[in-house]
Amino acid sequence: MEPILEVKNLRKNFRGFTLKDVCMTYMGMIIASSADVNSLPLKRHEIVLAKYLSIFVYSAIGIAIYLLVAAATKVLGFPIHVYPINFKAVIYGILAVSFLNAIYLPLMFKFGHGFSGIMYIILIFGFSYGISYVIRLFEKLVNYDWFQNIVSFIMNQSDTVKMLFITALALIILTVSCLLSVKFYKNREF
């Protein structure tokens, strides 16, 4: 696939499902983070790991809700355009949710819910508006041979290889974030 077409597909997927998945996961994470569970008989690293696992639970719930709303809209004949969900949109959604929460959760474990909740909102808006600038940058970089070679190499890989690459990238980001969160939470005074 041509690199410029892939960039346009990225923009379409982001505007469709990805942003909705990010927002639904955000709501779940904020609600779950508002209660400090330090008084439970759990070790601090277990609490941190549970928060990181909840990222994927809330994302899955967001996907299910999106599919239900899309189906209901179609069956009931509402004149609302619902973006179709596909494999790439789900992968982009998981990567976006992982990236945002990899920034948010260490802040939450370091500073608590109040400050980090405000930062999460700033991250969501920054991500929403920043992705347009990143896509425009990609559209400009497409004119360079070195960039076309990189994108062509990636696009020539099978969907499985692309999925594994994106999954590995998300896991690396989340692992570093989780290690920071455990360190911050263990050192935090209550």
Residue 2: what pLDDT?
53
For residue range 142-159, what is the model confidence (pLDDT) as tens digits?
788 888 888 788 778 887
Most confident of 7-16, 65-74, 128-137, 177-186: 177-186
Angle, CA 130 vertex, CA 134 and CA 180 arms, to 5°: 100
Task: Identify the three-state secondary structure at position 2.
Answer: coil
CB half-sphere exposure, 109, CA atoms < 13 A: 25
The encoded tokens of residue 163 equal 């999925």
For residue range 130-144, what is the model confidence (pLDDT) as tens digits?
777 777 787 788 788
Q: Which of 37, 24, 21 is nearest to 108 (CA)?
A: 37
For residue range 83-124, what is the model confidence (pLDDT) as tens digits?
777 777 777 777 888 888 898 889 888 888 777 778 877 877
Residue 11: what pLDDT?
53
